[in-house]
Structure 1
Amino acid sequence: MSGGGGITSLALREGGTVVLGVFGELDLFTGPRLVDVVTDCLSARPVRLVMDVSAVSFCDASGLTALLAARDSAVQAGAEFVLAGVQPALLHILTITNLDARLGLRPRPSPGTRC
């Protein structure tokens, strides 16, 4: 894979929530960048870290490792970790590796509900 992906939409929102938008490929090339961005975000001491992965088109083992590292870092910092917008292909990978439970995936909220 080419590592054609990135992280966008870093924003501290009302109530101490940080939202990260991840897009493209989450792999050996982009995974370390995600971990760096998460570390930076957590320095603001948010209450919740929401990672929107709705635009992730590919995720390999390195990407899964980055997601786990992000979750673990959030928990260590005392922030709730939410993985939002999980598309069917990524959900399938998370389910067969049993990482869906570790990442705390929940059913998709209904429209109009907050993260």
Structure 2
Amino acid sequence: MNGGGGITSLVLRDGDTVLLGVVGELDLFTGPALVTVVTDCLRQRPTCLVMDVSAVSFCDAAGLTALEAAKDNAAQAGTRFTLTGVQPTLLRILTVTGLDATLDLRPHHGQFPSAGATP
């Protein structure tokens, strides 16, 4: 478990999938810490990175930028990136900004995609 930068994360590995649980606020102060955690996860060379955001209590523009950077970094690494546990408030922000169309979203954290599944 990592609590650096005002955000808490828990990283688990399940075969070729890395599961990243994020707790707290995604904002100007915590966004860079999230990107660092994602970079560390991608060093494990997973086929799929699943980020559970069900415990994210707030997300501003800087938090959205961090999520987009996480997606882009995963794509550059050849890793499928999925957000799971997306709560209605965050889903609304993603929808209003159009990010819902560019991110692989799963509403429930129990719906992890299999590593071999196509996006």
TM-score (norm 1): 0.87
Structure 2 regions of 5+ residues with no counterpart? Answer: 114-119
Aligned to 1:64: 64
**Alignment partner, residue 30 of structure 1:** 30
The alignment of Structure 1 onto Structure 2 pairs a total of residues equal to: 109
Paired residues of 1:52 and 1:85 also in contact (CA < 8 A): yes
Shift of the 28–9 alpha-carbon distance from structure 1 to 2, 3 Å rule, reads same
SS in structure 2 of the partner of residue 23 of structure 1: strand
Q: C-alpha distance in 1, partners of 2:87/2:105?
A: 12
| One-letter amino acid of the structure 1 residue matched with residue 67 of structure 2 | L
Matches within 5 A, 1:1-12: 5-12=6-13
Across the aligned residues of Structure 1 and Structure 2, the Cα RMSD in angstroms comes to 1.9
1: distance between equivalents of 2:109 and 2:32?
A: 32
**Contact preservation (8 Å) 1:7, 1:20:** no
CA contact (8 A) 2:53 2:84 kept: yes
Asked whether 1:98 is paired with 2:95, we answer no
Give 3-state SS (helix, strand or coil) of 2:104's partner.
coil
Aligned-pair CA distance for 1:114: 4.0
Task: Tell me if structure 2 keeps the 8 A contact 1:5–1:26.
Answer: no
TM-score (norm 2): 0.84
> Aligned-pair distance for 1:5?
4.6
User: Aligned pair 1:88/2:88, yes or no?
Assistant: yes
* Structure 1: gaps spanning 5 or more residues: none
Identity %, equivalent residues: 63
Contact 1:5 1:22 in 2 (8 A): no
